Copies of this chain bind each other. A is one copy, B any other.
Amino acid sequence: MSDRTEISTLGEFGLIDHLTKNIEIQNASSIVGVGDDAAVIDHFGKQTVITNDLLVEGVHFDLMYTPLKHLGYKTVVVNVSDIYAMNATPTQIILGLAFSNRFSLEALDEFYEGVYAACEEYGVDLIGGDTTSSQKGFIISCTAIGEVAPDKYTKRSGAQKGDLLCVSGDLGAAFLGLTLLEREKRIFQESPGVQPDLEGEKYIVGRILKPEARKDITAFFAEAEITPTSMIDVSDGLSSEILHICKQSEVGCVLYEEKIPIAEESRQAAFKFNLDPTACALSGGEDYELLFTIKQDDYDKLKDHPEISVIGYITDEEAGAQIYTKGGSKHPITAQGWNAFNG
């Protein structure tokens, strides 16, 4: 970067002014935004849905291969995805950032460019936050707020025996994209002259660096008058999310390996890395697809949707959560999603 403005030249409040001066409020519910002790929201008879995520440099992202603009975009996506997973509509975000003095104003501007792009894409307002320094690294805290008609939210705990288990989009690509980026990073560190080989890998790299939340799926539910009985977003891998639904709904399930949607690009990448594509879908994280259950009666309403796959069904709790493999055998599903504490 040719220009570098030290953040200390602005001070904390100058910095906040700079980063938030172009905000245009999109939601009537955003009554008081950035610039006071707190923001004020009025959802006019709707209920408020709220979630928070912390993203830590070196744990959740690596700035060596993550452009700051993408990171800003992804920060918003990760959070609104949780709001969609409640079958609600995101309306506001609050952003807390801590960063060391290795970050320039230009770097923060890039990050906010991504934040604002995502705010526009998902129709949410940035209404407040906190900006502070860290001794080391970049730390992001994002709180997303949404709205839902009274008692129309979808929890993880509503799945019942006989319901169909469905998932949007395809799975495993983000994990494979990350695997590729980590490999290229190692190669670069060993031989800095070698150019990264991302040829033909645009899809999987895009899935990890610039994921999207499935606002189209909740919009489709409203249009098709489908009320999922339970829902969760796939952030830790399909296995882990299925087990959350089973545990909280007190049910078991049958999952068919052959029904798990995996993109052709992912299969090819898995082959190259000598990985099992199904394992990538089950245990890889960060797909941000929606996993949900519906009543069998709703099957006809979604059976032709190109972005929804029926991957199994709900059983009694006693039957446990089982996967039927392509080879015809049956195994209990175990959580091997990303566990930040096993690092």
A90 CB to nearest B CB, Å:
10
Chain A 126-171 interface residues, beta-carbon cutoff 8 Å to B = 127-130, 132-137, 139, 141, 143-146, 148, 150, 153, 155-157
Q: How large is the interface on A (under 10, 10 to 19, 20 to 34, 35 or more residues)?
A: 35 or more
Contacts of A341 in B (CB 8 A): 7-8, 10-12, 15, 101, 133
Say yes or no: A40 contacts B48, CB within 8 Å. yes
- Most B CB contacts (10 A, CB to CB) among A35, A48, A128 go to A48
Number of this chain's copies in the assembly equals: 2
**One of A19-27, A50-58, A174-182, A303-311 at the interface:** A50-58
Question: Which of B35, B43, B94, B133 interacts with A59 by CB under 8 Å?
Answer: B133
Whether A339 sits at the interface, judged by CB under 8 Å, is: yes
Contacts of A7 in B (CB 8 A): 341
A57 vs B136: C-alpha distance when bound (angstroms) = 10
A85 vs B38: C-alpha distance when bound (angstroms) = 8
Name 14 extra pairs, CB < 8 A, besides A52-B96, A54-B139. Answer: A12-B339, A12-B341, A15-B341, A32-B153, A36-B155, A37-B82, A37-B231, A38-B49, A39-B50, A43-B43, A48-B48, A50-B92, A52-B143, A59-B133
